[in-house]
């Protein structure tokens, strides 16, 4: 036998032997259960994250502000933006039309002098807003995605308790 053939046979045997043993990388291991986060505690306090105290202060301020206002950054669909004598009735019509077609999506009508603005939805991510935007009919072909402060979602657990 030639040395090349011996090396090929040896390599084949090593491969067969190596593939016969279970590796264990694909086996599921149960994750340790962590206690639920108590009200006012922060996940980053339980993680081993090294950061400056300024970062922790900013995170605390953002958390407190979100709890106080009940909002956080997200996305909405802007359906109408206009001013003038007929702006309010037109905005109310756009709001009513959208509500009729999509009763499950909340619609907001606001006035920022001198403009009336109609926005819809409370989307956490831009991709969620894009899914709804693509499903809109021809009546809302000018709608687009804007970043806005959205309402905090109500937890299902809180709804069951009440």
Global pTM reads 0.56
Ramachandran area for residue 24 (φ above 0: left; ψ -120 to 50: alpha; else beta): left
- pLDDT tens-place string over residues 25-77: 555 555 554 555 555 555 655 666 677 888 878 877 877 777 777 777 889 99
Report which listed range, 29-38, 66-75, 123-132, 138-147, is most confident.
123-132
Fold classified for 72-151 = Alpha-Beta Plaits (3.30.70)
Residues 102, 153: contact at Cβ < 8 Å?
A: no
Sequence ranges of the domains in the chain: 72-151
> Which of 20-24, 53-57, 116-120, 129-133 shows the lowest mean pLDDT across its residues?
20-24
Distance, in Å, from the CA atom of 2 to the CA atom of 10, rounded to the nearest integer, reads 12
């Amino acid at each position: 036998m030639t040395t090349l053939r011996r090396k090929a046979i040896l390599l084949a045997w090593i491969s067969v032997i190596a593939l016969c043993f279970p590796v264990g990388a694909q086996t599921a291991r149960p994750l340790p259960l962590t206690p639920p986060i108590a009200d006012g505690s922060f996940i980053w306090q339980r993680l081993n994250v090294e950061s400056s105290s300024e970062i922790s202060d900013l995170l605390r301020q953002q958390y407190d502000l979100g709890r106080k206002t009940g909002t956080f950054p997200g996305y909405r669909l802007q359906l109408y933006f206009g001013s003038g004598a007929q702006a309010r009735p037109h905005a109310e019509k756009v709001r009513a039309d959208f509500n009729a077609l999509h009763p499950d999506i909340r619609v907001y009508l606001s006035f920022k002098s001198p403009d009336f603005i109609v926005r819809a939805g409370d989307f956490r991510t831009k991709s969620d807003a894009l899914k709804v935007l693509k499903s809109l009919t021809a009546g809302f072909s000018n709608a687009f995605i804007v970043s806005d402060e959205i309402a905090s979602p109500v937890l299902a657990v809180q709804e069951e308790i009440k």
